Amino acid sequence: MTGEKVDLLVRNAAELVTVAGGSARPRRGREMAEIGLIEDGAVAVKDGRILAVGRTAGVMERVKVGESTTVIDASGKVVLPGLVDPHTHLVFAGSREYELEMKIEGVGYLEILARGGGILDTVRATRAAGREDLIAAGLKYLGEMLAQGTTTAEAKSGYGLTLADEVKMLEVVRELAQRQPVDLVPTFLGAHAVPPEYRDDPGGYVDLLVEEMLPAVVRAGLAEFCDVFCEEGVFSVEQTRRILARARDLGLKLKLHADEIVSLGGAELAVEMGATSADHLVHVSEEGIRRLARSNTVAVLLPATTFCLMGGQYAPAREMIEQGAAVALASDFNPGSSPVNSLPAVMGIACRQLKMKPAEVITAVTINAAHAIGRAAEVGSLEPGKKADLVIFDAPSYRYLMYRFGTNLVQTVIKSGKIVVGG
Ligand code: NIG
Ligand code: FE
């Protein structure tokens, strides 16, 4: 590669945070604080991939800057790998701001759902929406996410709850992936709620999921993961095990909404099933933490959800890290429990409420988040060969990002070697 001409060069970054060395398996426990920080750092890009990373002087010796090379001076700035959001409900119609008063008055999330509102309200709106409306909304949200540094995101179905409507949602995800820069990883969440038609026969809906919906979604190649909302009054541990087992047999990777509101043994189930991630975990048991720590299942924490649900208790992140679990963070962007799609906002909340240290937070939204969606070989760190996804923040240090929570400090976003935000 000596002297190879590059397309793009970012140089003289005050802090270049590579998060390198964690692509083979997620960083766990103490390793989460290792973020591969390089002062006066540079990244060279060719054909959409990273060619060289290191101190500016060293990189300059190894590459050739030609007339066609775009050179970005990142003096005084922080450069991070493009952020990865491993848990979103990106596609939905409408919004539920009217739930704010209900939550302030103390009406519980599961109570709103049991009254036929909450998720089911969004199901009504999403079923009624045309594809173009869902695509337009999705493009708007993805633009907001990209502007705040997200370059890869997971996107779930789960507001259709019929085969046709779930397929519609997943086709919208596929279309969105083609129409804008953020890479999307599709997840089938047909088991998000029991639809009104099956209110008196929830077992019948599980049969439908297992016998018809999952095979059809897999045949159409529309999903990479299967997820289930395993929760009291939604899907039981037994029903969840059955759905996940079928999904796994059909070749899907697994995720789980686990122990979000009630402690049901969701973390234990996720590990038992070999799930790629167990998400939420606010009420994870001691045993669940121990099993997560001994597994490769990534614990995906969603503190913006706890914040928006006004819950007093947050996921025990410190205990998970101290016991050696691999922790990632996500927005859980959805119209109900987390209308937040800003990962920097999630990062600020994670420091203050989960008591995660800034370096651990960086790992949690980059390489560990990439592991949580099976993309760690491609994104999540700045290493030669990986996609050239990077974010330049107008911040003097990586800690400053979390410290100045609430202000968008993104200056430039580069996706696959192309400048897609700022300049
Ligand atoms: O992850 N908990 C279940 N699903 C979402 C919320 C979806 C909604 O309220 O519309 C969550 O919090
Ligand atoms: Fe969720």
Beta sheet of 150-156, edge-to-edge order: 83-85, 150-156, 183-191, 225-228, 253-258, 277-280, 298-301, 327-329
**Alpha carbon distance, N-terminus to C-terminus of the chain:** 27
pLDDT of residue 311: 80
A 10 A CB-CB count for 111 gives 13
Angle, to 10 degrees, between the axis of helix 163-179 and the axis of helix 119-128?
Answer: 80
Nearest by Cα to 25 from 296, 366, 325: 296
How far is the centre of ligand 2, averaged over its atoms, from the C-alpha of 87 (Å)?
A: 6
Is the CB of residue 412 less than 8 Å from the CB of residue 71?
no
pLDDT of residue 2: 60
Q: List per-block mean pLDDT (blocks of 10 residues) for the chain, which spans 423 residues.
A: 87 98 96 98 98 98 96 98 98 95 90 88 97 98 98 98 98 98 98 96 98 98 98 96 98 97 96 98 98 98 96 95 98 97 98 98 98 98 98 98 96 98 91
Written as six digits, the tokens of 241 are 């095990």
pTM of this prediction?
Answer: 0.98
Q: Closest residue (by CA) to atom 5 of ligand 1?
A: 337
A 10 A CB-CB count for 328 gives 30
DSSP annotation of 24 reads S
**89 CB less than 6 Å from ligand 1?**
yes
Q: Which helix (H) or strand (E) holds 153?
A: strand 150-156
A 10 A CB-CB count for 162 gives 15
**85 CB less than 6 Å from ligand 1?**
no
Give the ligand whose atoms come closest to the C-alpha of residue 230: 1
Distance (Å) of CA 129 to CA 29, 59, 150, 168, 328: 44, 51, 26, 10, 33
**257 CB less than 6 Å from ligand 1?**
yes
Is the CB of residue 246 less than 8 Å from the CB of residue 213?
no
Is the CB of residue 301 less than 8 Å from the CB of residue 317?
yes
pLDDT of residue 122: 97
Q: Closest residue (by CA) to atom 6 of ligand 1?
A: 337
Query: Which ligand 1 atom sits closest to the C-alpha of 119?
Result: 10
Give the ligand whose atoms come closest to the C-alpha of residue 338: 1
**87 CB less than 6 Å from ligand 1?**
no
**118 CB less than 6 Å from ligand 1?**
yes
Query: Which ligand 1 atom sits closest to the C-alpha of 159?
Result: 10
Buried b (16+ CB within 10 A) or exposed e, 29-65: bebbbbbbbbebbbbbbbeeebbbbbbbeebbebbee
